[in-house]
Amino acid sequence: MAQRFRGESVHKVDSKGRVSIPALFRRVLEAGDPDWTDGLTPNLVIVYGGASQKYLEAYTQKAIQEVDEQIARLPRGSKERRVMEHIFNSQSLPTQTDDTGRLVLPQKLRDKVGITNEAYFKATGDTFQIWSTDAHDARNEDIESWLSEKGEDFDPLTLLEMAMPSQEG
């Protein structure tokens, strides 16, 4: 089973756009890069998306390969395939960490999502997101509000029932 990103943390961003990736995230990036060996730095792809995307999404090499394979199965020339190619090929940045586990976020990407002196790292399983702290706080308020509407007896694990196969025969 592939390793997954877990956890969240805030890291300082220096004037050159360098930011340390959480140490646990680095191990997952290494495991998800088939070309990585001891002494090398792992490769990843940052998808920054269109105007409505308020965060950067970082993919391991294995995760982005899975997305690429799914896109390739869409009919060539279809609107759906063109949209997916635009998001995952045009609006993305192949990159790698430096030897100290930092990532350089270009000014264009920092400006797009509003990152200035801090970046909020949020694990999302097979990817991780990089937010400005303000944008993340606003999104987190939406999630907490939704959860509170469910009541204090609500068990979030019940949401997984939607992923279960139907028992109809």
Domain residue spans in the chain?
8-154
Higher pLDDT, 39 or 71: 71
Rounded to the nearest integer, the mean pLDDT of the chain is 91
User: Quick check: pTM over 0.75?
Assistant: yes
Check residue 32 and report its DSSP letter: T
b/e map of 65-79 (b: 16 or more CB within 10 Å)?
eebeeebeeeeeeee
For the domain covering 8-154, report its CATH number: 3.40.1550.20
SS3 13: strand
Q: How confident is the model at residue 167 (pLDDT cuts 50, 70, 90)?
A: low
1 has a pLDDT exceeding 50:
no
Identify whether the C-beta of residue 46 lies closer than 8 Å to the C-beta of residue 129: no
Give the Cα separation of 121 and 130 in Å (integer): 5
106 has a pLDDT exceeding 60:
yes
Beta bridge mates, 123: 128
